[in-house]
Structure 1
Amino acid sequence: SRYALSINSDQSIENSAMRDILFCCIAEYLVMLSDDTLHSKQVIKVQDLIKHYDSLLASGHEPETHALAALESVLYDFFLVR
């Protein structure tokens, strides 16, 4: 995964940083579920993912940490992987 996380026992990670990493990992996982070459059927459509991210953007959350960060996974997969 592009979002590897290493934690030393003496380091403390802020909740917001952990949330951002978790959010990106979940978005990347959803993109993987949208690819039917990884399993027998497509679990979620890319169009549905984009609709959900659009709803996130309209919800008032920080766009950089939520909608745009999640959309990065979709764009990466769509333009560079498929």
Structure 2
Amino acid sequence: MSALIRFITRVIFTLATLVLVLCLMGVAVVTMIGLLIWSLLRGRKPVFDTSGFARARNYRAGQRGAAPKPMGEVIDVEVREVSEKLPPQT
């Protein structure tokens, strides 16, 4: 008898957990859609920052203390002199 009660309790808690997770995911989706609509109404392009995913991927890959990769060849900028006198405004 106690095994049946324990089984029913586990099923109830599992279903309650599933409902809670689905509700939280629904709240997250509704919030993201609301923020997306709000940014579009204000005339701004929505920004999706996924840099956290790249950092987590690098962290798991063991690159947390690795030296940065070389950026490539450095190109010098050509220098121009600017006269101190401003041209006349017309």
Same fold per superposition (TM over 0.5): no
Using structure 2 for the length normalisation, give the TM-score: 0.28
Using structure 1 for the length normalisation, give the TM-score: 0.31
